[in-house]
Amino acid sequence: MSKKTDFFNLSINNILSSEQSILDQARIRLLYYGFLIVFVAVGGLLISVYFQHQVVLTITAALVLVLVTALFKYLTYRPNWQQISHALLIMATLVNLNNVYVTMQKVDIITVQVILLVILFSFYMLGQTWGLLYSLVNIIPVLGFLVWGYNSYYSIPFSPEKVDQSTIIISLFANFLIIIFIHSQLYSAFFNNIRQLKETSEEQAVLNKQLGLAIEKAEKSSQIKTEFLSTMSHEIRTPLNAVIGMSDLMLMGNPRTDQKENLEVLKFSANNLLAIVNDVLDFNKIESGKVVFEHIRFNMVDLMQNICGGQMLKAEEKGLKFTLKIDPALKDRVLIGDPVRVTQIIFNLVSNAIKFTKKGSIWVKAYCHEDRHNKVTVNFTVKDTGIGIEKDNLESIFEPFTQESITATRQYGGTGMGLAIVKRLLELQGLHMHVISKIGEGSEFSFHIEFPVSTETVHQFSGKRLLSQSDEGLSNLRMLIAEDNPVNVLLMKKLLSKWKIIPTIAENGEHAIEILQYGNFDIILMDLQMPVLDGFEAAMEIRKLPDPKKANVPIIALTAAALFDIKERVFNSGMNDYVSKPFKPEELLEKILQLVAAVH
């Protein structure tokens, strides 16, 4: 690494830096002190050949002395050791070949020493590639000269110069000194480098150990967070289940107009709280990489109408015009994908559009972007005439717990989790959200999803879901409920009474198994967290019963928990399906009827 210094600098301390490696520092020291040795040696040779009246050798020695002085000054001003090394090797090569072919016209021990110096210096300073190049450039011409001289082919019109013994002694001594110095400097550098690597390795081992402990601590912290969220979810959802459930029951009882308004406010607030809890849990689930996308059949038209049905009412309450456009090409198609995740994405985008739009319109579109018969690419667009988003904030709005501005958070509320969940769900499918927005004019969010197309028709698909829901069929339904929470028991009894179902209640899993052994039931609703024997253990014990009819009775898990692996655990324990509390009455009823119909 180059280090800039003053032009008049002559100190090696000013050209060495802690940023340089041990090897690079050794190379700079080798050049610095090597120049001093070469300067003294060449100066001695210059004096010797001058007094011997060897003109060519005198000129050569003088040029070398000038070049060495210039390179030394360049080193102390700009310590670029690579350039200086190349200059020295080129100079040594030219001087050596000039002596062999012109000045001395012979290969002697000094020539061999110079070649050895070039080989050592080029490999140590510039690496293998340059070392090979400079070595061959020096060795091949010298070997060629030896072959020509051996066969008496070499002859030029120039009489070779002769030097006395003192010149030879000075040259030999200088060459040996430089060879020893090169080995000394580079050996010391390599030794220090190995020692530094050992120390670094030991430090790395300590850091790896600390990193391992930190990872273990982080994993424990993550596990504690997961367990905390699961517990908090259960504790929050349980009372919410009662609040929303009782609100539904009272709304089903034809209340007075003023009572209905109060109940709708109560239910709306409870649903808002539930949405916040769900957002936090969903985001944590996505960030933990626990999301698995389902591949089930659904109709896009029905799905979009269901998503936007409630949102239309919310938009109309704000005086907004709500437009839903669905490509007719999707009407008769049964697609295969994850309708729950599609619902989550569209619902969050539409909710945001309504939330941040004071007046104007909301447009929701789903059209067929590409149709390849067995696959279809659907483009979804949600557009509004809301407050818009600053260009600099287009990326930050997709970060968790973030909204476009603090003012927006205070004015419109919300956790800022919706778009973060949308972005993560799309990224997990390799998809990208495209956003166009102008302040004061509105925003447009759009994305594409590719769905395989089922061979079923919409009529066949819908027919499979038609179930008998006659009052007589429901009143004859024998149901066992395993639930330890008295509020939830009361809620379930009141709800089921609307469908003329009289359930049998068990306060824990063990009691549920005892009741089942002495009675016959069409379906079991099983809470998961109960004393004595929880829902998972109870389900596994039921599946082991000797009576096939009792062992195969359909079981629906009722849970207020939000464990990331809840679905897998439910099915692994032998249960047929699950409903999360607070549940929608119609959702529970549909699953009950489906399972009972499948058995009978």
What are the angstrom distances between the C-alpha of 355 and each of 320, 342, 344, 349, 358?
11, 20, 16, 10, 8
What's the pLDDT band for 406 if we cut at 50, 70, 90?
A: very low
Please say if the pLDDT value at position 578 is more than 60: yes
pLDDT tens digits, one per residue of 333-375: 889 998 878 888 998 899 889 988 989 999 999 999 888 878 9
Q: Which pLDDT does position 405 carry in this prediction?
A: 44
Q: Which amino acid is at 278?
A: N
Residue count of the chain, please give it: 600
Q: Which pLDDT does position 413 carry in this prediction?
A: 46
Tokens representing residue 416 in the block: 């800022």
pLDDT tens digits, one per residue of 97-155: 988 888 888 888 888 888 888 898 888 889 889 999 999 999 999 898 888 877 776 77
- Give me the mean pLDDT over the 442-453 stretch: 92
194-198, 284-288, 391-395, 457-461: range with highest mean pLDDT: 194-198
Q: Which pLDDT does position 458 carry in this prediction?
A: 59
Tokens representing residue 133 in the block: 């190049």
Please say if the pLDDT value at position 290 is more than 70: no
- Give me the mean pLDDT over the 180-200 stretch: 80
Q: Which pLDDT does position 63 carry in this prediction?
A: 93
Please say whether the beta carbons of 154 and 148 come within 8 A: yes
Q: Which pLDDT does position 140 carry in this prediction?
A: 93
- Give me the mean pLDDT over the 290-309 stretch: 82
pLDDT tens digits, one per residue of 210-228: 888 888 888 787 777 666 7
Q: Which pLDDT does position 470 carry in this prediction?
A: 46
Query: In which order are the strands placed within the sheet that holds 321-326?
Result: 321-326, 361-371, 375-384, 442-452, 434-438
Please say if the pLDDT value at position 268 is more than 90: no
Phi/psi of residue 192, nearest 5 degrees:
-65, -35
Tokens representing residue 563 in the block: 């464990």
- Give me the mean pLDDT over the 562-588 stretch: 78
Please say whether the beta carbons of 244 and 270 come within 8 A: yes
Please say if the pLDDT value at position 96 is more than 70: yes
What's the pLDDT band for 476 if we cut at 50, 70, 90?
A: confident
- Count CA atoms within 13 Å of residue 557 on its CB side: 28
Phi/psi of residue 105, nearest 5 degrees:
55, 40
Please say if the pLDDT value at position 408 is more than 70: no
Q: How many CB atoms lie under 10 A from the CB of residue 37? A: 13
Q: Which pLDDT does position 556 carry in this prediction?
A: 93
Q: Which pLDDT does position 469 carry in this prediction?
A: 45
DSSP-derived secondary structure letter, 453: B
Report which of 307, 303, 301 is spatially closest to residue 329, judged by C-alpha positions. Answer: 301
Q: Which pLDDT does position 561 carry in this prediction?
A: 61
Q: Which pLDDT does position 203 carry in this prediction?
A: 83
Q: By percentage, how much of the chain surpasses pLDDT 70?
A: 87
Q: By percentage, how much of the chain surpasses pLDDT 90?
A: 21
Please say if the pLDDT value at position 435 is more than 60: yes
pLDDT tens digits, one per residue of 6-19: 788 888 888 888 88
Q: How many CB atoms lie under 10 A from the CB of residue 308? A: 22
Q: Which pLDDT does position 471 carry in this prediction?
A: 47
- Give me the mean pLDDT over the 412-440 stretch: 80
Tell me what the pLDDT averaged over the chain comes to. 82
**Higher pLDDT, residue 29 or 403:** 29
Tokens representing residue 543 in the block: 């599946």
Please say if the pLDDT value at position 253 is more than 80: no
Tell me how far apart the alpha carbons of residues 39 and 18 are, in angstroms, rounded to a whole number: 28
Tell me how far apart the alpha carbons of residues 38 and 570 are, in angstroms, rounded to a whole number: 84
Q: Which pLDDT does position 70 carry in this prediction?
A: 92
**Higher pLDDT, residue 429 or 587:** 429
Please say whether the beta carbons of 580 and 560 come within 8 A: yes
Lowest mean pLDDT among 46-60, 136-150, 343-357, 572-586: 572-586
**What DSSP assignment string belongs to 62-115?**
HHHHHHHHHHHHHHHHS--HHHHHHHHHHHHHHHHHHIIIIIS-S--HHHHHHH
Please say whether the beta carbons of 484 and 364 come within 8 A: no
pLDDT tens digits, one per residue of 489-540: 888 888 888 888 889 999 999 999 999 998 899 999 999 888 889 999 999 9
- Give me the mean pLDDT over the 471-479 stretch: 74
What's the pLDDT band for 543 if we cut at 50, 70, 90?
A: very high
Please say if the pLDDT value at position 38 is more than 70: yes
